[in-house]
Structure 1
Amino acid sequence: MEKTKIASYSEITPEQIAEWKERHGPVFKLECEDKACIVKLADRKTLSFASSSGTKDPMKFNEMILRGCWLGGDMEILENDTYFISVSQKIAELVQFKTATLEKL
């Protein structure tokens, strides 16, 4: 997970978003009521860590994905259960797959 000093969505500038896009590809605003954050898509390392951490606890899986994709924003989303549970419904969208095929030759 990339460490950030941006602990409030209001601190995020368009320039910061442009820098994140350049570094991580697509970035997204994840919002719940009056709180918001910027996240990136999950990478292999994040998915691996979340999968091993969340084998018995699906909420732990969601937490590890969110923490691994977190770029900056209102920390209440991570720390307050009401916000966290609300955004958990969208976390699966951060894990994207391409369609693959397997053909016997």
Structure 2
Amino acid sequence: MSKKITQEQIDAWKAEHGSVAALKVADKIGYVKKPTRQTISYASQAGAKDPMAFNEIILDQCWLGGDEEIKTDTGLFMSVSGQLTKLINIQEAELVFL
């Protein structure tokens, strides 16, 4: 079980990392930041050999705090895995030739 994360802590993380997201599963909550390009690259390389490694690396590298069981309990980890790609905010782009 983790210590209670305060709003002051969340505000400090936002000031440092830009945005913070909460991963909620069962009665657990974990806080994560957006991954860097380097993290995405590393996770993608590892994920090519081991698909679970992508999610493990993204969660580990983006983790700020919360209930550690989300990272260590297989069921909780699998439950949040589907949400991790949403941290990579891909927007639609357009190529316009001038």
Q: TM-score, normalised by structure 2?
A: 0.90
Name the CA distance, whole Å, in 2 between partners of 1:98 and 1:89: 18
Displacement of 1:30 in angstroms is 0.4
Name the CA distance, whole Å, in 2 between partners of 1:81 and 1:45: 26
Name the CA distance, whole Å, in 1 between partners of 2:82 and 2:30: 15
92-101 vs 58-67, which deviates more?
92-101
Query: Structure 1 unaligned runs (5+)?
Result: 1-6
Displacement of 1:26 in angstroms is 1.6
Name the CA distance, whole Å, in 2 between partners of 1:42 and 1:61: 12
Query: Structure 2 unaligned runs (5+)?
Result: none
Name 1:47's counterpart in structure 2: 40
Aligned to 1:100, the other structure's residue is in SS state coil
What is the aligned-residue identity percentage? Answer: 48
User: For each residue in 1:46-78, what CA deviation from the matched residue of structure 2 results, as whole angstroms up to 9, or x when unmatched?
Assistant: 111101111122211011111111110111111
Name the CA distance, whole Å, in 1 between partners of 2:50 and 2:64: 24
Q: TM-score, normalised by structure 1?
A: 0.85
Aligned length: 98
Cα RMSD, aligned residues only = 1.4
> 4+ residue runs of structure 1 moved beyond 2 angstroms?
none
Displacement of 1:33 in angstroms is 0.4
2:15 matches 1:22 = yes
Name the CA distance, whole Å, in 2 between partners of 1:25 and 1:98: 17
